Amino acid sequence: MSASRPRIRRRLLRAGKYVVIVFVSIVSAFPILYIISASLNPFGSLVGANALFAQVSLDNYIGLFSRPAQPYAAWFLNTLVIGLISSAGTVLLGGFAAYAFSRMRFTGRRVGLVSILLIQMFPQLLGVVAIFLLLTAIGEVFPAIGLDTQLGLILVYLGGALGVNTYLMYGFFNTVPTSIDEAAKLDGAGHARIFFTIILRLSAPVLAVVGLLSFIGTVSEFVVASVVLTDPAKQTLAVGLFQFVTQETSANWPIFAAGAVLAALPVVVLFFVLERYIVGGLTAGAVK
């Protein structure tokens, strides 16, 4: 008797654990299942979407690409281009800086590291008014990088390149043994060669994480993008889909669902492919 009591207790505890875990899993996954179902549902409204997987058709996906006023294909492409260029730039600019901080000793190094951390406490979106006015002013002289240009938006995003990302890379570069650099130096390799062929290659995981995190950040960025880009054909997914779904929520819902699924797919796949590295990066202080 006395031996079975704790066993029963343990069993109950485990059962309770399962209940909680299953419940949380359902809550986590449900909205995503729901939107997949809605995207496949040919009944065109928000109410119609409530019948989960009642009928399956690809009508909404076809409809998505046949609306001249909501150029989804253009939004998708814009987001891809802006995201890729910005994240590549972030990796490169951040990598340069991290290399300097990790491998060189110079006056102002500590101050530099601390000030990068401090500046990052103030995200760029706080200055959205100033960014808008700055790009307006630039646009009057150089229309190519002014308001309503994607190049201007990319330049703004690159302004945030030195930050948490630099820190992540800095931490990782520090784990690459300096003896490898020394050996390469003996073989006559210059600093640039060491950086590009040794440090970057050995740090591939962290580069992937920084690239992905900054890509996701750019894709999700709404504030600056909505202020800078006004022409529908130039907008990003975040801005376009938001306006699309708020204009006529119910009628546009199925098409929006298809657009959301298509937009999320690459990001989710990349996330799970790189999950191991991302989790490592999270502990070092990255917030999506």
Partner 1 sequence: MTPTVRSRRLTASPPSLTTLLVKVVALGIVDAIAVVVAFVLFGHGEWFVATLALLTAAVLTWIYLRRGALPAKYLAPGTVFLLVFQLFVIGYSGYIAFTNYGDGHVGSKDDAVAVLITKSLTRIPDSPAYPMVVVERGGELSFLVTDPDGVALVGGDGRPLEPAPDADFSAGKAVALPGYTTLNFAQMLQQQTRIAAMSVPLGDDLDEGAMRTANGSEAYVYRASMHYEEERDVFVDVATGTVYADTGTGAFVSERGVELMPGWKVDVGFENFGRAITEESIRGPLLSVILWTFVFAGVTVAATFGIGVLLAMMLNDPFLRGRRIFRVLMILPYAFPAFLSALIWSGLLNPQFGFVNQVLLGGADIPWLTDPVLAKVSVLIVNVWLGYPYMFLVATGALQSIPMEYIEAAKVDGAGRWATFRKVTLPLLMVTMAPLLIASFAFNFNNFNVIYLLTEGGPQDISTEMNVGATDILITLVYKVAFGETSGRDYGLASAFAIIIFLLVAVISVLSFRKTKALEELH
Q: Report 192-211 residues binding partner 1 (CB under 8 A).
A: 192, 195
Under rule CB under 8 A, residue 151 binds partner 1 = no
227, 229, 255, 258: which one binds partner 1 (CB under 8 A): 227
CA distance 158 to 161: 5
Local structure of 242: helix, strand or coil = helix
Considering only residues 28 through 67, tell me which ones interact with partner 1, judged by CB under 8 A: 28-29, 31-32, 34-35, 38, 45-47, 49-50
Residue with tokens 């207790």: 9
Structure tokens at 39: 């995207």
Q: Which residues contact 113 (CB under 8 A, 6 or more apart)?
A: 101, 170
Q: Quick one: which of 159, 167, 156, 169 has its CA closest to 208?
A: 169
Under rule CB under 8 A, residue 121 binds partner 1 = yes
73, 133, 151, 204: which one binds partner 1 (CB under 8 A): 133
State which residue, 61 or 256, has the beta carbon closest to partner 1: 256
267-286 mask for partner 1 (x: CB under 8 A)? xx--xx--x---xx-xx-x-
3, 6, 179, 190: which one binds partner 1 (CB under 8 A): 190
75-94 mask for partner 1 (x: CB under 8 A)? -----------------xxx
CA distance 267 to 218: 12
7, 179, 186, 231: which one binds partner 1 (CB under 8 A): 186
* 60-68, 70-78, 203-211, 213-221 -> range binding partner 1 (CB under 8 A): 213-221
Structure tokens at 198: 């040794």
State the number of binding residues for partner 1 (CB under 8 A).
94
Considering only residues 235 through 254, tell me which ones interact with partner 1, judged by CB under 8 A: 238, 241-242, 245-246, 249-250, 253
The answer to whether 129 touches 225, Cβ cutoff 8 Å, is no
State which residue, 57 or 115, has the beta carbon closest to partner 1: 115
The answer to whether 174 touches 257, Cβ cutoff 8 Å, is no
129, 144, 179, 231: which one binds partner 1 (CB under 8 A): 129
Shortest Å distance, C-beta 261 to partner 1: 9
CA distance 275 to 81: 23
Strand boundaries in the chain, DSSP class E: none
71: left (phi over 0), alpha (psi -120 to 50) or beta: beta
Considering only residues 99 through 118, tell me which ones interact with partner 1, judged by CB under 8 A: 99-100, 104, 106, 109, 112, 118
Q: Kindly compute the dihedral angle of the four CA atoms of residues 93, 133, 220, 145, in this order, to the nearest 10 degrees.
A: -60
Shortest Å distance, C-beta 71 to partner 1: 18
